Each structure stands twice: as C-alpha cells, then as structure tokens.
Amino acid sequence: MCYIIPSFSTLTGVISRNGALIGALMLSACAAAPLPEGTNDPFEDRNRQIHAFNVGVDKALLRPAATTYDSVLPEPLEQGIANFAANLDGPGDVLNNLLQGRPGPALENTLRFALNTTVGIGGLFDPATALGVDGDPTDFGETLHIWGAPEGSYAEVPFIGPTVERDLVGTLVDVAMNPLRFVLPKPESSYATAAKLASRLGDRSRYSETVDSILYDSADSYAQTRLLYLQNRRFELGQTVGEDNFEDPYEDIYAD
Amino acid sequence: MRIDAAPLRLTRRGFAVAMAGAFAASLPIPAQALTVDQARGLIDKAVADVNRIISSGKSEQAMFGDFEKVFAKYADVPVIARSALGPAARTATSAQLSAFTKAYQGYISRKYGRRFREFIGGSIEVTDAKPIKTYFEVISVARLQGEAPFDLRWHVSDKSGRNLFFNIIIEGVNMLASERAEIGALLDKRKGNIDTLIADLKKI
C-alpha cells in the first residue's frame, strides 16, 4: 500500500469520474470484471506531461536522496526499516482480504503481522518469512477488481507514478481506511509515515539499475513505464490467465 | 527477506530430458514434434548455461559475449528481431532485415546481460511446462539474493525448424511487447530510417 498522500488538486478530475464508479460498485458487487486488453490511455498527452514531471522529481530529488540514504545507512538498519514499513501494511491487507471474501489470505496476513510485530520486535525483523509465512500483500485496488470494477484508463499521478483509475481510487481508500491511522497515537503515526518514506528511498536504491534503465535508458520511458505497470498489475490480479494475452510472432510471419 | 543461494540443480531425470532436448534441438524436426518435456529440457539447458555464466566470475564484457552466445543458441533471434521491428519489418528489404537481426542480437545481449548481473548469487529453477495454443510455456522461478522469488516464463516453439524460445515473461511483463515499444520508439526518433537504426543499435 502506498502512503504518499497525493496532491489532490490534480486528482479531482479522475476522482470525480470515479465517484459514479464507486457508487455503482456498492450496488452491483461481485460481477466479474472484464478482462482488460491493450492500453486504454485516452489522456496520453496529459499523462506524458505528468510523466516528464515525475522523471524530473526522480532526477532532482528521489534518485540523489536514495543514493545518499543507501550510502549513509548500514545495510542491517536499512533492512530493518524496510521490514518495519512493510509490516505496517499488515492490518490494511487483512481488512482488504476480508472485504474480498478471502479468509485464507486474511488468516495468513494476520499471523504474519502478529509474528513480526511480537517476535520480530515491532516489525524490525521478519521471522514470519523464515517460518514460511510469506503473507499475501493486497490493496483496495484488488478489492475493487474482485468486486467487478473495470480497470479504467491509464493515468500517471504526480509523485506516485503509473496507475489506472481503479487502482488510484484503491490507493486513496487504502490511505483513508488504514486501521493504523485510527490506532496509532500522534508521534508514533508520524514515525510510521517516516518509515514509509525511508523505505521508498531504500527501494529506489535497491532497484536502482532497473528503474534507471526504464526512466533514463529507454527511448520512450513513458511507453515502457505504462507497459510495465499494466502487464505486471494484470499478472498480479490473475488477469493474464486467458491465453488471449499471449502472442505468437510466428503467426504474423506465416500470415504474410 | 529470504536468501536462497542454492545453485541450480539438474535432477537425474531433468538431466536426461535436457540431453534429449539438446539432441532434438540439434536436428531439424518436423512440425508438432515438440513435446512438453523437450520444451522444458531446452529451458533447463539454457538456464544451466545462464547460471554457469553468472557464477563464472568473468568480467562484465566477457559475460556479455557469453550471453550473446546463449541467446543465439537457444532463442529464435530472427523472429524476435522481426517482432521487435513491428510493422517496419514488412517494408524492409531482406538485406536490411538480416543486418537488423545481427545488430539487434548484440544490442539485446548487452541490454539483458546487464540485467542478468542481478542474478549473481541467485538461481533459476524450472518448475513446470504446458502447451499453449501452438507453442509451449515453460515456467520457472527465479530466486535472487534478498528478494521474494519471482515468476519467469519462457515461450518455446519449433516453428523455425528447431526448438527455440521466442519470448520471456517476467512477472507478467512480456519481452516481445516491451521490445516492440522500444524499437518502435527508436525508429520513430530516426524518422523510420532502418539503416540509421541498424548503425545506432551497434552503439547502444
């Protein structure tokens, strides 16, 4: 789950369009979402501008900050912060599992959160993975998908990056309904936010080569980012099981 | 975070299948002769070669050369190159197509070779294979140091007359689609001039 609060003014357009969507969802839950195909990007021009802005933010802020973060912090501490930040997603994951009607993953995520919070000293360590309790991360975007919401159009959001309308609504709902928001008192909740931000820097440095190759080495980083997000997200949601998404380059040749 | 540095192990059966696959791969075989076991054997062998390279301790430059050999040996480079070129492949001359294929082979080995460096200390294990439409999907799991295992799939066909893979899918991300977007963008930047693209690909 993403903790970065987006700048709302730029999102209002997308959200107002999705207001109707959410309303419809509440009424007609559990209809199967249609399998998305190709790219649905009617706002490409605007998305490309936002992408250019995000690349600028990465170049000027995120990338240098991540490099510094990685060089200053000793590896075990960095790992501890990453574990702590990941563990904070536990309660939200369980809530989503319940909304999805998936008791199995709900139990596994509960067990994982309980183990890591207690034995793992507040989540700094990850004994659950060592014990084979891998957990099953989820988000409200997936819940919407299970309820039958279509993917919607592709969007790039300032500071957040690639998403689709369904997942953008999911991100906002996840931030709003995160159980920890209602449980953690004042100073602790800011530690949680700080850990989330720090863990993002850690991710940026850990996946530095991958992110750099997409943002700076590719001929069209916007198109590559979009492709990567859509294909990976559909895979996560189990939407690539249909054989229609596979391509056969031989067909093309023999069709000539 | 799990750390699994277990090297790739070929089981006795897997080894036999790999040998059978190697034998079959060396012969032109009639259509429909490819089986699930052969497809799996091909990828078992390719994966063993990749694992050998990433644990060889050679220089990066030397590894790029080795990757290019693996790629040329196990992948259907002409069909991947043609697919990456997209609609432009239809209007290209056969001389341009073969020059492009050659330049593309080096380009893609360097590009993916760089990524395979992240596999050092990790391992890839073939777990399953199944037929899809007219080809086979070989499913493997990649375990990298300090990462959750991820899904790596290979699409294998014998349509070229040999058993070769023509696509890799990493956590749902399709290499052919990604390559077509990238080469398409490179071509657009050169106003559709394939000859300039071929010359530049050698330098990227």
pLDDT digits (tens, 9 = 90+) for A209-235: 889 989 999 999 999 999 999 999 999
The rounded distance, in Å, linking the Cα atoms of B101 and B116 is 21
Q: Is residue B58 predicted with pLDDT exceeding 70?
A: yes
Rounded to an integer, the average pLDDT of A8-21 is 36
Which residues in chain A (107-136) have CB-CB distances under 8 A to chain B?
A: 126, 129-130, 134
A165, A173 contact by CB (below 8 A): no
Q: What's the pLDDT band for B11 if we cut at 50, 70, 90?
A: very low
What local confidence, expressed as pLDDT, does residue A254 receive? 56
Tokens representing residue B200 in the block: 């530049």
- Percent of chain B predicted with pLDDT > 90: 41
Q: Does ipTM come in above 0.90?
A: no
Measured between CB atoms, does A248 come within 8 Å of chain B? yes
Give me the mean pLDDT over the B70-89 stretch: 92
Q: Give residue A61's pLDDT.
A: 95
pLDDT at A255 over 80: no
Whole-Å CA distances, A211 to A59, A200, A215, B90, B114:
11, 13, 6, 33, 13
User: What does the block give as tokens for A68?
Assistant: 């510094």
Answer whether residue A51 shows pLDDT above 60.
Answer: yes
- A232, A248, A252 member nearest B135 (Cβ): A248
Residue of A nearest to B204 (CA): A217
Q: To the nearest whole angstrom, how far is the Cα of B108 from the nearest Cα of chain A?
A: 13
Q: Which residues pair with B142 in a beta bridge?
A: B124, B150
User: Burial code of B88-109, b = ≥16 C-beta within 10 A, e = fewer?
Assistant: bbeebeeebbebbbbbbbbbbb
What pLDDT band is residue A242 in, cutting at 50, 70 and 90? very low
Reply yes or no on whether the pLDDT at A23 is more than 60: no
Strands (E), B91-159: 123-132, 135-143, 150-157
The pLDDT, as a whole number, for residue B19 is 45
The percentage of residues in chain A with a pLDDT greater than 90, rounded to a whole number, is: 66
**Confidence band for B81, pLDDT divided at 50, 70 and 90:** very high
Under 8 Å CB pairs connecting chains A and B tally to 88
- pLDDT confidence band for A167 (50 / 70 / 90): very high
Contact status of A243 with chain B (Cβ, < 8 Å): yes
Does residue B23 or residue B46 have the better pLDDT? B46
Closest alpha carbon to A145 in A33, A6, A227: A33
With contact defined as beta carbons under 8 Å apart, do A111 and A93 qualify? no
Q: Looking at residue A245, what is its pLDDT?
A: 53
Task: Please check whether residue A15 touches B, CB under 8 A.
Answer: no
Close Cβ partners of A195 (under 8 Å, ≥ 6 residues apart): A81, A84, A85, A88
Q: Answer whether B181 sits within 8 Å of A223, measured CB to CB.
A: yes
Name, in order, each residue with C-beta under 8 angstroms of B149's C-beta and a sequence gap of 6 or more. Answer: B2, B4, B141, B142, B143
In this predicted structure, the answer to whether residue A180 has a pLDDT above a threshold of 60 is: yes
Query: Confidence band (pLDDT; 50, 70, 90) for A16?
Result: very low
pLDDT of residue B54: 78
Residue in this structure with the two tokens 């994982």, named with its chain if needed: A112
Mean pLDDT of A123-134: 93
Q: What gap in Å lies between CA B192 and CA B204, rounded to an integer?
A: 17
> What's the pLDDT at A246?
58
| Shortest Cα distance, chain A CAs vs residue B23, angstroms | 23
Two tokens, residue A201: 């820097």
In chain A, positions 222-241, which contact chain B (CB-CB < 8 Å)? 223-224, 227-228, 231-236, 240
Which DSSP state fits A198? H
Give the span between the Cα atoms of B139 and B155, in whole angstroms: 9
Mean pLDDT of the region B159-163: 89
Mean pLDDT of B26-43: 69
Length of chain A: 256
How far is A75 from B192, CA to CA, in rounded Å?
47
pLDDT interval class at A39 (50, 70, 90): confident
Q: Identify the residue with better confidence: B107 or B113.
A: B107
This prediction's pTM: 0.81
Q: Compute the average pLDDT of residues A180-206.
A: 89
pLDDT at B20: 45
Question: Do β-strands B173-174 and B164-170 pair in parallel, antiparallel, or remain unpaired?
Answer: antiparallel
Most confident of A153-157, A236-240, B68-72: A153-157
Average pLDDT over chain A, rounded to an integer: 84
